[in-house]
C-alpha cells in the first residue's frame, strides 16, 4: 500500500519545470537627426556607433521575468508605465516582473515628452516631443520581448561579482569647500561589477548582465553624434568576445563619472580604453564565476516610499501617480522601489540617479549573498543625494526634487524590505 501511495503521489505531482531563458538585441538607431538628452538641448548630426535595446526573458516554470537595457539617457516614469501596459496586454507579463533600465549615455535621442524635463531639468525641453521615435522605441521593445519569448530554451544561470577602476567620484571640492562637477579621487565610489551569466543547457552563452555604476559621459555636450558612450562601447566589445548580448545595467551613478569625462570627441576621451578598463574586467569576472545551475527560482515585489518634495517645486500631470498631496505638511514624492530575487541574489531598483553611498549601505545591510542595485530603472525622477550631499551643495542637490530626508527614507525602506524577502 505504501508503494502504491508513493506511486500515486509521484503521478499527480508535477515535476519542477526547467529554467528557460533567451536574449535579443534590437537596433534602435534613428535614421534622421534627433534631439539628444543629457546636456543642453542639441540635435544629432550623425552616428558614431549604433544603439540598441538588449532584452533578457527568464522563465522559472511559474512566471516570466523581463529585463531590458536601452542605450538612452533616461525617460519619464510615464514612458515605463506605457511600456508595461503594452507588454502585459501583448504577453501577459505583469509590470512587477518587468524592469526597464537605461545605460545613461548622454549621446542618444530623447524618449518621451520633454515636458517632464521642465520640472526635473530646468531650462531644458523647450521643443516638441518626438512622438515618432518614442513610439518606435516602445514598439521595438515589446517586439524584442516577444521575440525572446519565442526563443526561450532550457538554460542555466551563474551569479557573482568583479571589480573595475573605470569610474571616479565626480563631486570635486575646492579650497573654499564649494562642490562642482569634476573629479574627486578621495570621494566615495562603488567599483563592484555585479554579473549574471545566462547560458544554454550545453554551456553556450545566452547573455551577460553587467551591473556597474558610471555616468555615460565620456563625450561632452559639444559632441553631436549618436553613441552608446562607454556603456555601449563596452557592451559591444564584450559581445564580440562572447558572441552573446550584454546588458549594461547602470548602478548608483548619481555622483560617479567615468575616469575620462566630458571630452569633445571619442579620441580625446580615450573611449576605446574603457574596453580594457571595464570590458576586460567583465570578461575576467565572467571567467571566474562559479558553476551555473538550472535550478532557478524567481520572485518579485515592490514597495512605494513616500518622502517630502522640495518646497516651491512645480510638478507635472505626467507624474501625478508619483506624488501625493499632504494637507498640513509638504507635498510628497511617491518613489517606487522594485525588488527581484534570483535564487540567493537580491536585486533592487529605483527610477533615480542615486548617490553610491546609499546603495552600498543597503548592500552591506542586506541578508543576501549578493545584492545588486539597478539605477535609472523604470523611469527617471532626477538625483537622489545623501543627507551630507544636500549639506555640501552642488549640482545634484540643487536640481533634486527631494529633501535631505530622502536618504533615510529610502535606506530604511530598502533594508527592511530586503530583510523580509523570502529566501
Instruction: Note the pLDDT tens digit of each residue in 22-67.
Output: 999 999 999 999 999 988 889 999 999 999 999 999 999 999 999 9
Lowest mean pLDDT among 58-72, 106-120, 127-141, 152-166: 106-120
Instruction: Note the pLDDT tens digit of each residue in 339-362.
Output: 999 999 999 999 999 999 999 999
Distances (CA, A) of 411 to 51, 111, 338, 356: 34, 30, 14, 12
Residue 215 belongs to some domain of the structure = no
Residue 387 belongs to some domain of the structure = yes
Segment 373-387 shows an average pLDDT of: 97
Predicted confidence at residue 310, as pLDDT, reads 93
Q: Show Cβ contacts of residue 32 under 8 Å, excluding neighbours closer than 6 positions.
A: none
Residue 227 burial (C-beta neighbours within 10 Å; 0-12, 13-18, 19+): buried
What's 183's DSSP letter?
A: -
Residue 176 belongs to some domain of the structure = no
Beta bridge partners of 145: none
Q: Give the three cell numbers for residue 182.
A: 569634476
Q: How far is CA 46 from the centre of its chain?
A: 26
How many H helices and E strands in the chain? Answer: 11, 24
Lowest mean pLDDT among 225-239, 264-278, 319-333: 319-333
Residue 357 belongs to some domain of the structure = yes
Q: What is the total count of domains within the chain?
A: 1
Q: What is the enclosing helix (H) or strand (E) of 139?
A: helix 131-150
The chain-wide mean pLDDT, for the chain, equals: 93
Q: Are strands 225-226 and 46-47 parallel, antiparallel or unpaired?
A: parallel
Q: Is the pLDDT of residue 253 over 90?
A: yes
Q: Which structural domain, as residue segments, surrounds residue 304? A: 298-420
The answer to whether 245 and 239 are in contact (CB under 8 A) is yes
Q: Is the pLDDT of residue 323 over 80?
A: yes
Predicted confidence at residue 13, as pLDDT, reads 33
Cβ neighbours around 58 below 10 Å, total: 27
Residue 415 belongs to some domain of the structure = yes
CA-wise closest residue to 393 among 255, 276, 279: 255
Place of cell 557573482: 160
Residue 348 belongs to some domain of the structure = yes
Q: Give the three cell numbers for residue 258.
A: 567615468
> What band does 16 get if pLDDT is binned at 50, 70 and 90?
very low
CA-wise closest residue to 38 among 137, 135, 110: 110
Residue 46 belongs to some domain of the structure = no
Query: How many Å apart are CA 407 and CA 391, to the nearest integer?
Result: 13
CA-wise closest residue to 65 among 397, 343, 420, 371: 343
Per-residue DSSP letters for 194-208?
EEEEEEETTS-EEEE
Cβ neighbours around 66 below 10 Å, total: 23
Q: Is the pLDDT of residue 9 over 80?
A: no
CA-wise closest residue to 231 among 192, 266, 271, 262: 271
Residue 352 belongs to some domain of the structure = yes
pLDDT greater at residue 405 or residue 6: 405
Predicted confidence at residue 312, as pLDDT, reads 85
Amino acid at each position: 500500500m505504501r508503494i502504491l501511495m508513493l506511486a500515486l503521489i509521484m503521478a499527480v505531482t508535477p515535476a519542477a519545470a526547467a529554467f528557460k531563458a533567451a536574449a535579443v538585441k534590437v537596433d534602435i538607431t534613428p535614421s534622421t537627426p534627433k534631439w539628444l538628452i543629457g546636456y543642453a538641448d542639441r540635435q544629432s548630426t550623425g552616428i558614431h556607433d549604433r544603439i540598441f535595446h538588449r532584452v533578457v526573458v527568464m522563465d522559472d516554470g511559474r512566471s516570466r521575468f523581463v529585463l531590458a537595457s536601452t542605450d538612452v539617457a533616461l525617460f519619464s516614469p510615464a514612458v515605463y508605465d506605457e511600456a508595461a501596459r503594452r507588454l502585459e496586454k501583448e504577453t501577459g507579463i505583469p509590470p512587477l516582473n518587468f524592469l526597464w533600465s537605461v545605460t545613461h549615455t548622454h549621446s542618444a535621442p530623447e524618449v518621451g515628452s520633454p515636458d517632464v524635463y521642465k520640472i526635473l531639468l530646468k531650462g531644458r525641453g523647450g521643443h516638441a516631443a518626438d512622438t515618432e521615435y518614442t513610439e518606435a522605441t516602445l514598439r521595438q521593445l515589446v517586439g524584442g520581448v516577444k521575440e525572446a519569448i519565442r526563443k526561450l530554451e532550457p538554460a542555466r544561470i551563474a551569479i557573482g561579482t568583479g571589480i573595475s577602476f573605470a569610474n571616479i567620484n565626480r563631486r570635486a571640492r575646492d579650497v573654499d569647500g564649494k562642490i562642482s562637477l569634476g573629479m574627486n579621487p578621495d570621494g566615495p565610489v562603488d567599483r563592484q561589477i555585479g554579473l549574471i551569466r545566462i547560458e544554454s543547457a550545453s554551456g553556450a552563452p545566452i547573455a551577460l548582465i553587467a551591473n556597474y555604476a558610471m555616468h555615460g559621459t565620456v563625450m561632452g555636450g559639444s559632441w553631436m553624434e549618436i553613441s552608446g558612450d562607454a556603456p555601449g562601447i563596452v557592451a559591444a566589445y564584450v559581445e564580440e568576445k562572447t558572441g552573446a548580448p550584454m546588458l549594461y545595467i547602470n548602478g548608483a551613478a548619481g555622483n560617479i563619472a567615468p575616469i575620462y569625462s566630458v571630452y569633445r570627441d571619442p579620441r580625446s576621451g580615450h573611449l576605446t580604453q574603457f574596453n580594457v578598463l571595464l570590458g576586460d574586467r567583465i570578461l575576467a569576472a565572467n571567467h571566474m564565476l562559479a558553476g551555473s545551475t538550472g535550478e532557478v527560482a524567481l520572485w518579485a515585489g515592490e514597495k512605494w516610499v513616500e518622502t517630502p518634495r522640495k518646497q516651491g517645486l512645480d510638478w507635472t500631470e505626467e507624474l501625478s501617480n508619483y506624488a501625493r498631496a499632504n494637507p498640513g505638511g509638504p507635498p510628497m514624492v511617491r518613489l517606487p522601489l522594485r525588488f527581484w530575487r534570483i535564487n540567493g541574489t537580491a536585486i533592487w531598483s529605483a527610477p533615480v540617479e542615486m548617490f553610491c553611498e546609499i546603495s552600498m549601505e543597503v548592500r552591506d545591510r542586506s541578508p543576501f549573498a549578493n545584492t545588486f542595485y539597478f539605477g535609472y530603472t523604470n523611469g527617471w525622477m532626477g538625483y537622489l543625494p545623501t543627507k551630507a550631499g544636500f549639506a555640501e551643495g552642488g549640482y545634484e542637490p540643487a536640481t533634486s526634487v527631494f529633501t535631505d530626508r530622502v536618504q533615510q527614507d529610502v535606506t530604511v525602506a530598502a533594508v527592511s524590505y530586503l530583510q523580509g524577502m523570502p529566501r
